[in-house]
Amino acid sequence: MQNIPAAWLAQLDELLALSETGPDGAQDTRLVEQVAALDPDLLAFLIQQLAHDESAQAAALLELLAATPATPAEARGQARGALEALAERGITAAPPGEERFYAGWVQEGRECGEQILILGWRLADGDLEALVFLLDWRGDGLKDFYRTRRMNAGEWAALIEHNGQKGAPLVELTLAEARALIEAALAESRRFSRPPPREYKVEGALIERRILQAADLPQTSRAFISPALTPDGVVRAYVAALHHRDYALTALLLAPEHPLRAGRTVDESTAELRAQLKHAPRREEVVTVTPADTGASAPDEDAQVTLRASGAATAIERHTNRRTRHAVAEQYTLRKTGDGWRITTAV
């Protein structure tokens, strides 16, 4: 190791020391924070050195690097390659008789109404096993679930790749974020009086131990809405959420300064929207979106944009049971936030 800065070697030693604890420990949290702040060249050096360190400790750190969303995508791939090479020599991160959370992935397409959630564990003998959930935010809550057979690293990668081609890309998430999504989906199931899937009931004790009891709920959570949504895509998604009475999504599509979001949590905003719109006419999902100013140019990264949306709503008259339909014209102002375009006003 020629011309390696002493500071790099010191950071490597510190990260290896932090990796000695089990998953979900306070040291792991510190380690993830440090990894997120590493210089890319140092991170590449770190992975290279770990690949030659034939120890369970090095494998544990590589596994954490590979499974952590804060690790750049290129570095995650390098860490996984190093892990597979160590596994071929019989070196794994899991101590005998123990299992550990390996990685979690979820579709970044909350606006589509359904999301696939995949959570994986490294078993004591080095194999992998996954729990796969289908979350339906428009009627069923937890719609489907299954537990995979044991897999090797290649089969795990194939599972992730296969599901990543089903409508929305997959992004990594923490066990805490996964727990929050599952509990929210279960709450929707109860709200719509939908029983959990049979396989979920069969594996209830395992799910409780691995997820619901293994991680605290996160202080903040991501929306998992596609960051590539254009302003008109956000408006269409908002109207579709109104149509399906998916009030959690409508809240997530509002900017923090929107009157229904300011000073409220997402759950509080969702409850307020549900209360306000519970008896409102049913919005039709199809909507025509046009610029409010026909001469306006495409919005730049920091600009606001105002759009007009033309649609309709239907209702059933109380006394005649006659179905009525009326046009709805609205104007939306959106701005670009750190999470993508969000609605600041809708009138």
- CATH number for the domain harbouring residue 325: 3.10.450.50
The pLDDT, as a whole number, for residue 95 is 62
Q: What is the pLDDT of residue 225?
A: 97
Q: Is residue 224 part of a domain?
A: no
Q: Which amino acid is at 55?
A: S
In terms of domains, do 260 and 305 share one? yes
Q: Is residue 220 part of a domain?
A: no
Asked if residue 129 belongs to a domain, the reply is yes
193 within some domain: yes
pLDDT at 54: 77
pLDDT reported for residue 69: 59
Predicted local distance difference test score (pLDDT) of residue 25: 40
105 and 76 fall within a common domain: no
The answer to whether residues 193 and 104 belong to one domain is yes
The domain in which residue 63 lies consists of: 7-88
Instruction: Kindly give the confidence (pLDDT) of every residue in the chain, 347 residues in length, as a single tens digit, with 9 standing for 90 and above.
Output: 456 677 777 777 776 666 554 444 445 556 666 766 777 888 888 888 888 887 877 887 788 777 765 677 788 888 888 888 888 888 877 665 678 888 899 999 999 999 999 999 988 877 889 999 999 999 889 999 999 999 887 788 889 889 988 889 999 898 999 999 999 999 999 998 999 999 999 999 999 999 999 989 888 788 999 999 999 999 999 999 999 999 999 999 999 999 999 999 999 999 999 999 988 999 999 999 999 875 555 555 558 999 999 999 999 888 888 989 999 999 999 999 999 999 999 99
User: What's the confidence (pLDDT) of residue 104?
Assistant: 93
**Do 264 and 337 lie in a common domain?**
yes
Q: Based on the structure, what is the number of domains in the chain?
A: 3
pTM: 0.77
Domain closes at, from 36, 65, 88: 88
| Any domain includes 217 | no
What local confidence, expressed as pLDDT, does residue 282 receive? 93
In a domain, 127, yes or no: yes
Domain match, 184 and 246 both: no
Q: Domain check: are 106 and 183 in the same one? A: yes
Amino acid identity, position 107: Q
